[in-house]
Amino acid sequence: MLLAALTTDAKIGLALTAAVFAGFSLIVALVVSRSRPDFPGRRLPAFLVVSVLLFVAMITAVLVFGSKTKAETAAAREKIAVGETDYALEVPKTTVAPGVYTLEVTNYGQIPHNLTVQGPGGKKKATKTIGPGESASLVIELRKGSYIFFSSLPGQQQQGVSETVTVS
């Protein structure tokens, strides 16, 4: 679960550091100890220094790469306020650049709504049902194309709770 929260470059950095650490451990344990039964012998100080340096490198990699979570990356993404009333959906921009957005949806109406985003290819992503005066957030990656923002509750899209957003 924690691994899923890391960015791709953080996963790669941790994997490379772990591979070096594990490779050193396996070589010392399986290869060097067979060819030199007295290992580390006189080389004990050098072996300890290398072991400690690799251990510190692994801990540092966890601290540096482990702090680059998708959640922190998400904090830097652009937020778009979306307002819903009983017969309208208000989006401040109908043309946006490709990227990851947090749609902050507020229901200003008297009946429940949700926000469903349908993109190219028919893929949909939606918030939970939002009661009057309530809010919800939807994190979504928008790629080039046209998206329909609408309330998917019965009859609401037909009543005007809909807007088209172009990503270019």
**Residue 68, pLDDT score:** 56
CA atoms lying within 13 Å on the CB side of residue 155? 4
pLDDT in tens, the chain (168 residues): 456 666 777 788 888 888 998 999 899 888 888 888 888 888 889 989 999 999 998 888 888 877 655 554 554 478 899 998 888 888 998 899 888 888 999 999 898 989 999 998 888 999 999 999 999 998 888 889 999 998 888 776 666 678 899 998
pLDDT at 33: 81
Res 121: pLDDT? 80
- Kindly report the pTM of this predicted structure: 0.55
Are 129 and 115 spatial neighbours (Cβ–Cβ below 8 Å)?
Answer: no
Specify the pLDDT at position 1.
Answer: 44
Q: Which residue has the tokens 């580390």?
A: 40
Topology of the domain comprising 77-167: Immunoglobulin-like (2.60.40)
pLDDT value of residue 34? 85
Distance CA 93, CA 109 (A): 21
The residue ranges of every structural domain in the chain are 3-72, 77-167
Task: Decide if 142 contacts 164 (C-beta within 8 A).
Answer: no
In angstroms and rounded to an integer, the radius of gyration of the C-alpha atoms of the chain is: 26
